[in-house]
Amino acid sequence: MANKFKWTRTQEKENIHMNDVLPEQKLTPSLCQNETYLKEIFRNCSDVVYRPLYVEGRMYALVIYVNGLIDTKGLEEMLLKPLLTAGHNPEVDKPSYFKELIAQQALAIKQTALVSDVSLVVQGILNGQIALLTEGETEALLGNMSDYEKRSIGEPGTESVVRGPREGFTESIFTNKALIRRRMRSSKLKFEMTTVGEMSQTQISIAYIEGIVKPGILQEVRKRIHRINTDAILDSGYIEEFIEDTPHSPFPLVQNTERPDVVLASLLEGRVAILVDGTPFVLIVPMTIWTAIHAAEDYYEHFIYTSGIRLLRFLLLSVSFLLPSLYVATSTFHPQLIPEALLLTIAAARENVPFPTVVETLLMEVIFEALREAGIRLPKPVGSAVSMVGGLVLGESAVRAGIVSAPTVIVVAFTGIASFSLPRYNLGLAFRLLRFPLLLLAGSLGIYGVGFGVIALIIHLVNLSSFGIPYLAPVAPNLSSNMKDIFIRMPRWTMNKRPGFLVDENIIRTPAGQDPAKNKKSQK
């Protein structure tokens, strides 16, 4: 590195105007001229610090950085103090001394680079690097000393589990990559870095496992990310809207998670993860509807417990979507389908209600959604109390006032409870949204309207895809060999193959012959 520095003792002061600074502008040998360039570019940027280095009254170097993005203590200890004490050395006037001193101190800085373009210097400073400019040099030294404030690793707030890892992603992309790498100590785990956003220059990392991921899926992910052209990326949700296959579908086509174990499990199945700096939510593609219904805890508990809970989850999903519409359709158009005793009870409860069943059901659904949204937006200590107390008070008051009937309140309340069983918030939002048009169909066409709505939903789901993978795979198209982890979870030693619709090579995940019962018999 020392050979790349050529030092002189001259200083030139010139009048520089911003109009002279072009995107391809190069640094000049004049330190004062370079300083004027950069100060004009960072005009009114109070967080940009200019630290000149004087030796015996002469300015030989200039350090520029953004306050709050670098380790200032480390900068003082590793670079500034050794350079500032050079004036006490009798060899300071030798032409090569100061050059060699900076070259030696730069070795203590991680990830250094020499650049000559002004644009690269500016970008490096904004990325949390220090820029060291010297008199007589047309190249600047960029050193990575980034150390900004970040949130500590904690338990994910949206994917809590009873059993399993409790670590969640943070807003730092480097911390998130380390959490994944710590669980996969293999050189086959790859992280490709890029930046998206003309102004924000947000760092994006594409993670995959070489030898497992399909090259076509990986290439499609790269292509969709590289074609994004926007001014800023502030969250992974921005990326999600740019890369999804069907943007007008209410169903999520890109999975998001805060859990490193979920990301790694997906990578081992042949999926691709997209990490975005500044957000704890990592995107996973391709996505199927089954990955949104499965929970992370399903793979940590015994397969018998998991299978029973999954079947219950599918039942509650059907209840949350169909129960209000079926109640409206049967009570309005097909009362003969209701047992006589129950029908008489419903009729007696609705005797003084002024609204049709579909109107009171829609009214209660809107009230319940309003309470749920208020509970989410309010502070945590207050939100849960407001949602619970508000539901009890409003429901009881509405029944006493004769605005709605008690059976309607029970149906809507049970529907809301059933909707909480879905592990993925965005999938629950899709079914909550579609519940309203299905209610209108039930109120206008009865059970036939419910049937039409369900058929239309199935047709829509069959036609959806995520990065070329069918949304309902492996159920539609039917791939019987991949059905061991859909409606129930088979024992882990039987799920010895990766999903065939995601991988072409390295499909064997676990070698055969690891059944504990058979191994026990063979030992006898």
Q: What is the mean pLDDT of residues 344-348?
A: 89
Better-scored residue on pLDDT, 326 or 150? 326
Residue that the structure tokens 């070259």 belong to: 103
Confidence at residue 108, expressed as pLDDT on a 0 to 100 scale: 58
- 109: amino acid identity, one letter: I
Residue 497 DSSP label: B
CA distance 467 to 218: 10
**Residue 69 — φ and ψ, nearest 5°?**
-105, -10
Peptide bond into 477 cis (omega under 30): yes
Under the banding of pLDDT at 50, 70 and 90, the label for residue 16 is very low
Please, what is the average pLDDT of the chain?
84
Residue 44 has pLDDT above 80, yes or no: yes
Q: Among 98-102, 271-275, 347-351, 421-425, whose mean pLDDT is lowest?
A: 98-102
Across residues 16-24, what is the average pLDDT? 45
d(CA 136, CA 102): 14
Identify which has the larger pLDDT, 235 or 385.
235
Strand 110-115 versus strand 48-55 pairing type: unpaired
In the chain, the percentage of residues whose pLDDT exceeds 70 is 85
Identify the pLDDT of residue 154.
Answer: 86
State residue 2's pLDDT score: 40
Least confident of 15-29, 110-124, 286-300, 397-411: 15-29
pLDDT of the residue at 139: 84
Query: So what's the pLDDT on residue 18?
Result: 39
Instruction: Summarize the confidence of residues 81-89 as an average pLDDT.
Output: 60
The encoded tokens of residue 161 equal 């589990």
pLDDT digits (tens, 9 = 90+) for 460-489: 999 999 999 999 999 988 887 788 899 999
Q: Tell me phi and psi for residue 142, to 5 degrees.
A: -100, 130
What is the structure's pLDDT at 106? 57
Report the distance separating Cα 387 and Cα 337, nearest Å: 34
Question: Which of 326-335, 369-378, 383-392, 456-465 is the least confident region?
Answer: 383-392
Q: Which residues contact 294 (CB under 8 A, 6 or more apart)?
A: 310, 423, 485
Confidence class for position 143, pLDDT limits 50, 70, 90: confident
Question: pLDDT tens digits, residue range 54-83?
Answer: 765 566 788 899 988 887 777 777 777 766
Q: Please report the pLDDT score of residue 15 as a whole number.
A: 40
Q: What is the arithmetic mean of pLDDT over 352-369?
A: 89
Q: What integer is the mean pLDDT of 30-57?
A: 84
Higher pLDDT pick, 159 / 56: 159
142 pLDDT above the threshold of 80: yes
pLDDT of residue 194: 93
4 has pLDDT over 60: no
Residues above pLDDT 90, as percent of the chain: 42
* Burial status of residue 46 (CB atoms within 10 A of its CB: 0-12, 13-18, 19 or more): exposed
Of 70-84, 138-152, 340-354, which one has max mean pLDDT? 340-354
Pick the closest to residue 263 from 83, 142, 255 (CA basis).
255
Q: Which residue has the higher pLDDT, 398 or 23?
A: 398
Residue 230's pLDDT is what?
A: 93
Structure token digits, residue 271: 């999926």
Which of 24, 30, 28, 26 lies closest to 9 in space, CA to CA?
Answer: 30
Residue 262 pLDDT class (50, 70, 90 cuts): very high
Predicted pLDDT of residue 19: 39
Mean pLDDT of 12-21: 39
First to last CA, the chain: 68
